[in-house]
Amino acid sequence: MKKSLLALALTTAIVGVTACSGSSNIEPVQPPLQTQIKNQAFVKFSDQFIENLWKQFPTWAIYSGYHKYDDQLVIPNENSRIQTLSFVKKQRDALKQIKLSTLTTSQSIDYRLIENVLDKVEWGINSAKAWQWNPAQYNVAGGFAQIINEDFAPLDHRLKSVLNRMKYVADYYQAAKNNIFNPTLEHTQLAIQQNKGGLGVFSDELIQKAEASGLSDADKKLFAQRVKRVRTAINGYVTWLLDLEKDLTKNGARSFRIGEKLYEQKFALDIQSGMTAKQLYTKAVADKNRVQAEMVKLTDELWPKYFSEPQPTDKKQAVRMLIDKLSVRHVKRDDFVAEVKKQIPELVDFVNKKQLITLDPSKPLVVRETPAYMRGFAGASISAPGPYDKHGNTYYNVTPLDAMTEAQAESYLREYNHWILQILNIHEAIPGHYTQLVYSNESPSLVKSLFGNGAMVEGWAVYTERMMLEEGYSNFEPEMWLMYYKWNLRVICNTILDYSIQVKGMTKQQGLDLLMNEAFQERAEAEGKWRRATLSQVQLTSYYSGYREIYDFREEYKQRLGSKFDLRQFHEKFLSYGSAPVKYIRQQMLSELN
């Protein structure tokens, strides 16, 4: 999972929001030379819009690497929502003054991205209203952790920002309590878990850092006092949520399902594809059947190598038996994080030897255990610096298995076995999320880098999995291909699961049956995916929709160029447009070809 998909997730938390078309609804516009002067008005607007956005959402700014407003923490009350809607109206009115016909193709994409940001913010407040029913979107730990842990400025400067920012925390959580109305049980429980984890950010070690710093004696004393007040505020919120959880468990809670209308609206805003959610769901069902057929062929090939008895007549049962046989090959639970670290240099070496894309060795990738305040949602993720902090660390967050029972850990390790752990590292790190996000930060368009499209970001990571195998990673080993298809089937079933849960009322047992019997997943993975699908909406479809768009576009581009096609050049050109929706990148690359 990805980004600063943490930064993308943060956007979801702030505003209450969190396809495979080969064409765009926007025709490429090549303005005549005399209109370039008019385009400068859009450049000026874009720069001012970004500055105004960070002032409105200072925590979002922190995750993007912009630190002018680090000492500010917005109180999420009714007044702030009114101010936000006023901001949306003012920016939208200004944007409408600029005619699309006066913009270059690249600027027209930026225009649409800004327009989409404003639409998402407004939709989140007025339509989705997750600020009422999702207690988990209230958590101050992440923003503080970014300031404390990232070395973007001298420690004394950062601690001063932390000191000033802490004075808003008590009011922040009081506003959260006032906002919450008829919440879901699932999001209440997530809020309890993550806010408990967030207490670790405000540790005695933080007070000791302040004591040893260059802050004045008065500020050091105030710092210690405010840390204790923050702990009190967080503990108070957790206690309040625990009481709420008891009431919801006893008397019933709001459903986590958002329904078809809201789901389609959210899909359009988040995925930005030419397809509807229902159309993507239909395509995913067809792809599921195709991939299962490929797995049957590989099972037929590999069966004699691993079994002496004949195959069962039930082909899915045979596939499951072979996967079970192979899945016993995995690392020890205590070596899980260490094995991830070990594989990264091996992936770098393969990409460099095959010249698949240019990697920048000056941009560090740090594999670390997932911080406590981030746990409970995904087992692996990338936290990347924003375009303002291009030289900051990119963290590959890997959750250790120490909180699992022996049975849970074994199930998890069978899912992330010898082959699939490699695919996971391709997806999250090299040349997946980490690589894409480094390139995104280098995009000349700050708009494209900042307002990344989740489907493009996740789609790229999924695309690289297949691309690496096509280029000979694992030497075309049929076992790797079988496990890849199992992994890819999970991507496809993510879409089926998410849509079915949120729109079609799929039960937990039906969901587990889909994941375990149709996608051949282990119970621990299936249980985790069910949990994730109850806590988010649409995001799980981004993997499949983005992957199909990217892969299909690459094949189209290859056909157009013929013998002149170069895979590395395609990758670097594609990633040079930042994290824009795939349909817009396709539009611009084809426009430049023409």
3-class SS letters over 436-483: HHHHHHCCCCHHHHHCCCHHHHHHHHHHHHHHHHHCCHHHHCHHHHHH
pTM of the model: 0.82
Distance CA 496, CA 242 (A): 33
CB atoms within 10 A of CB 574: 23
Distance CA 77, CA 572 (A): 44
SS3 74: coil
List the beta bridge partners of residue 396.
Answer: 367, 382
List the beta bridge partners of residue 369.
Answer: 398
pLDDT at position 139, please?
97
Residues whose CB falls within 8 Å of the CB of residue 77, separated by 6 or more in sequence, listed in order: 175, 178, 179
Residues of the chain with CATH 1.10.132: 137-251
pLDDT at position 23, please?
32
- Let me know: does 515 contact 530? Beta carbons within 8 Å: yes
* Residue whose entry in the numeric block shows the structure tokens 């901001």: 87
**Backbone phi, psi, residue 396, to 5°:** -95, 105
Of residues 25, 30, 19, the one with CA closest to residue 106: 30
Give every residue of the chain whose pLDDT is below 50, as ranges: 2-38
Judged on CB neighbours under 10 Å (0-12, 13-18, 19+), 319 is buried
Distance CA 360, CA 362 (A): 5
- Let me know: does 169 contact 140? Beta carbons within 8 Å: yes
- Let me know: does 389 contact 150? Beta carbons within 8 Å: yes
* 399 DSSP assignment: -
List the beta bridge partners of residue 395.
Answer: 366, 383
CA count, 13 A, side-chain hemisphere, 96: 7
Distance CA 138, CA 136 (A): 5
Helix, strand, coil percent content, the chain, rounded in steps of 5: 70, 5, 25
Residues whose CB falls within 8 Å of the CB of residue 197, separated by 6 or more in sequence, listed in order: 141, 371, 372, 373, 374, 375, 376
| Structure-token pair, residue 325 | 């046989």
SS3 382: strand
* Residue whose entry in the numeric block shows the structure tokens 């746990």: 375
The CATH classification number of 137-251 equals 1.10.132
SS3 169: helix
Stretch (H or E) spanning 119:
helix 105-123
